[in-house]
Every structure is written in C-alpha cells, then in structure tokens.
Amino acid sequence: MMRLVDVRLDDVVRLRKPHPCGANEWLVVRIGADIGLKCAFCGHRVLLPRSKFNKSFKEYIRRGAPSRPELPPA
C-alpha cells in the first residue's frame, strides 16, 4: 500500500538512502507533480516524482510552515 506523505515547502526530511555526499538531510524546495529537494550539506538538487518521493521518504527532521487559507483583507 502506498503511503501518502504530507510534504510541505521548507520541510527538512530524511530519505531511505543517504545522498552520495554522505548527508541525509533534504530541504523541500518545490512542491508539484515532482518534489524538488536540495541536499542540506552539498546543495545538490534533485527532482523526484511524488510517487518516488513517497517511497523514499523516511522521516521529518523539521516541518515547514503549514499551508493555510489566505486571510481575508482587513
């Protein structure tokens, strides 16, 4: 069964396999059909299709701000 990861911009996540540079800490820089990740150590960027991201995801290190509806104008 496929797990759906609630991924947000600015989340920092750990994946099942570390990056070849040795770090395993990824900053989420893009949300869409593909998830954009940036290695927190070497700055390398990757794009993972969401289905692949769901499989690779291990845990959150830090959560980004929750998305919330726009406040009505004052």
Whether the Cβ atoms of residue 28 and residue 7 lie closer than 8 Å to each other? yes
| Binder of Zn ion out of 4, 16, 21, 63 (CB under 5 A) | 21
Q: Which stretch binds Zn ion (CB under 5 A): 1-9, 18-26, 46-54, 64-72?
A: 18-26
What CA–CA distances, in Å, run from 14 to 6, 19, 52, 73?
A: 14, 10, 14, 38
Does residue 42 belong to the site contacting Zn ion (CB under 5 A)? Answer: yes
Bridge partners, 47 (sequence order) = 36
Q: Which stretch binds Zn ion (CB under 5 A): 6-14, 25-33, 38-46, 57-65?
A: 38-46
Can you give the binding site for Zn ion, defined by CB under 5 A? 19, 21, 23, 39, 41-42, 44
